[in-house]
Amino acid sequence: MNLLSSFTSEWSRTRVVFGAGAIDRLAAELDALKLAPGLLVVTPGRAHDLAWLQSRLGDRIVGVCDGAALHVPIERVRAALDHVDRASPQALL
The predicted pLDDT at position 92 comes to 87
With bands split at pLDDT 50, 70 and 90, how would you rate the model's confidence at 4? Answer: low
Residue 14 has pLDDT above 80, yes or no: no
The predicted pLDDT at position 89 comes to 93
Task: Give start and end residues of each alpha helix (H) in 34-73.
Answer: 50-57
With bands split at pLDDT 50, 70 and 90, how would you rate the model's confidence at 3? Answer: low
Any residues with CB less than 8 A from the CB of 61 and at least 6 apart, and which? 37, 38, 39, 40, 53, 54, 93
With bands split at pLDDT 50, 70 and 90, how would you rate the model's confidence at 45? Answer: confident
Please check whether residue 2 is in contact with residue 55, taking contact to mean a CB–CB distance below 8 angstroms: no
Higher-confidence residue of 34 and 72: namely 34
The span from the CA of 4 to the CA of 18, in Å, is 9
